[in-house]
Structure 1
Amino acid sequence: MIRVLLADDQSLVRGAVAALLGLEADIEVTGEAGDAAEVLGLLTAAAVDVALVDVEMPGMDGIALTAAIKAEHPGVRVLIVTTFGRPGYLRRALRAGADGFVVKDTPARRLADAVRRVHAGLRVVDPVLAAEGLVAGESPLTARETEVLREAATGGTAADVARALHLTEGTVRNHLSAAIGKTGARTRAEAARLAQENGWL
């Protein structure tokens, strides 16, 4: 029996996935969680073979959660299951240690098969997304530009971003300018949108 933990902040989605996987004779959903802290708590409390993790969750996102799972529970396999099939997310998830990456509109039978394959030690990646990832390439942003743009995306001023990241306003403006140029945007809002659409933030 493959013991599965579901992590998604939408209870309706968790319930639907649990019901679908529950129809499989060799898969048992042993826990459900709505945020990263719950996931890590459940992993400590009970044995889990495969964690199905969404990318966008409150607090720690699914990619950071994947890295935490791999650091604290290296025997647990992680399958990212997300609405946001973005090439940048795929790259970041694999770098964080994810064993698979599929989108939520994957048919139920294929999702169950992905769980089995990941459990068996194989890597499972949505083929369309894999192809898009090859075309899109790596993020052009540096780690600091990404951090500044992510903070700026919340709508704060350069001074707000500088305070939050302990930088000078001039440094923030320089990073924002570089990010705007690298994304081909005209404004920082557009740069943030383009970066989010590509999964770079």
Structure 2
Amino acid sequence: MKAIHSAHGVWESVENGYTVPENEEAFNQNERNDLEKLRKKDQCALTIFHQGLDDDMFENIANETTSKGAWEKLQRSVMGIDKVKKRLTPTLRDEFETLLMKEVTNQIKRLEEAVMDVRVIDKILHSLTKKFWHVVVAIKELKDLEAMTIDELNDSLREHEERMNHDDDVEQGRNQWYERDHGQEEQTQKAQPNYKGRG
């Protein structure tokens, strides 16, 4: 948001805010002109907020009349969702990479270069991170790349990622269960005296 506001030259209005003066009639014409410029900058900044938000976030600031008020309300409403951000980041990153690859493909096609899905699929497979390498090998060995579409590849990669995330969740649950049960055993063993017989 700051970059967009700065590009339009209105970030200062967001930071400093705009206050409606009490007796505007007492101002001379130059002061009124300056005040009108500040008011326009503030309304431009507020409009940028309105245009850049989804419906839910827009509802949070719909009643705000200044850009500073909207910014402060947005900051308060966003606090506390770090866990959600951490959870969504990998998924959004993958979606971004998929969209980016599709956009690159569309640009190449727009330039009238004959791009076959095979070349694009090959580029996608080569651009994947280490966690997907075994999937890349399986796809190359088991599937006919000539007949495969980009959407089919995308579906395969998404399915694999969901399985990996599910497996990670299951493994984490097992670890918590193991730690809980073995932690109780250790406490029980510590609580029991270690008697040795005469034998």
Question: TM-score, normalized by length of structure 2?
Answer: 0.29
Bigger fraction of residues in strand: 1
Question: TM-score, normalized by length of structure 1?
Answer: 0.29
